[in-house]
Structure 1
Amino acid sequence: MSRGRTGDQDDQGDDPVVLRWPQGARSVPMARRELRRVLAGWEWGAVEDAASLVLSELLTNAVRHGQVPGREIETRFVRVQGRLRIEVHDASERRPLMALPVDGAQGGWGLPPLDSLAAAWGVGDREGLGKLVWAEVAVGREQA
């Protein structure tokens, strides 16, 4: 893992926590651990379970489908107007699809549960190669 700029956080979303991860399955639990640490520092522990699931789904998708040799995957955690915004950046142009897995599938459940956990989510372009997939988890009154 490599760490980006992590200055003082405010509730407007300035100065996100930026982390970079190798393209492997072990990055997912490491990223969840770092997210829990960030949320504890912000005193946003109430959103930890939902945020951890959202991060797991986004990062797992990037590890499985967004691999580009020699490139890392980047996560960003930022507070935006009472929500936690989680972004996962990868160098692949391949966009995620909302689809239910076929019977007996071991994976492929990521986006439908994400849709129910996140207040909003989407896919966008990023600087350079690839895409970013983001989701916002409501904190406080908006949860539920």
Structure 2
Amino acid sequence: MSTRARPAATRLTPALPTAADHLLPGDDRSAARARAVLRHHLQLWHISGEPAYSAELLLSELVANAVQAQASAASEVGVRFALSDGCLRLEVRDASDELPVMSDAKEDEECGRGLVLVDALASGWGVDRDGTGKTVWAELAVCDASAPCRAPVLRSP
């Protein structure tokens, strides 16, 4: 090697982001948009199969509930995905202060089963309220089915 030549630099691979935030319009197409954005992040994080399907279903139900809870279609819905320690956390924020309620839908009713699905599929779920609305979240173990998600961080109302 000549005295003017330099050794090749080691290229660092940028770390994948472990969280993503998105704002969606508060309309009937928001659940489909949220699923599409989530699919992109799941691919980046190499999450597929049953955990990916469950995550999409959870997010779809949470977004549909948020859209329905808001009085105005002009309101936006915020979604956030975060991956940490084998746990995927899905958060959906809306401007309504109305808390979600798990109900027993009758066989012929079209609505009312969303939170039952969330409760069945998620490792845990809950609601964080603030002065301008709420965030409904659900967690799902995605890397090792035998490893539970971290204990949720408790936030004061």
- Report if aligned partners of 2:88, 2:139 keep a CA contact under 8 Å in 1: yes
Query: Which secondary structure does the structure 2 equivalent of 1:39 belong to?
Result: helix
2:81 is aligned, of 66, 73, 77, to 77
- Mind listing any 5+ residue stretches in structure 2 that lack a counterpart? 1-14, 147-157
Structure 1 equivalent of residue 97 of structure 2: 93
Aligned twin of 1:3 = none
Identity, in percent, stands at 37
Moved over 4 A (4+): none
Could you tell me which residue of structure 2 aligns to residue 135 of structure 1?
138
TM-score (norm 1): 0.84
- In structure 2, the CA distance between the partners of 1:69 and 1:32, relative to structure 1 (3 Å rule), is closer
CA-atom RMSD, angstroms? Answer: 1.9
**More helix as a share of residues:** 1
Larger Rg: 2
Which whole-Å deviations, capped at 9, do the CAs of 1:69-105 have from their partners, x for residues lacking one?
Answer: 6421100000122110000000100000111113411
- The size of the alignment, in residue pairs, is 132
Deviations 1:49-82 (A, max 9, x none): 0000000110000011134464211000001221
Unaligned runs of 5+ in 1: 1-6, 11-15
Paired residues of 2:82 and 2:88 also in contact (CA < 8 A): yes
Q: Which amino acid aligns with 1:56?
A: S
Instruction: Give the TM-score normalised by the residue count of structure 2.
Output: 0.77
Task: Tell whether the 8 Å contact from 1:72 to 1:90 is kept in structure 2 after alignment.
Answer: yes
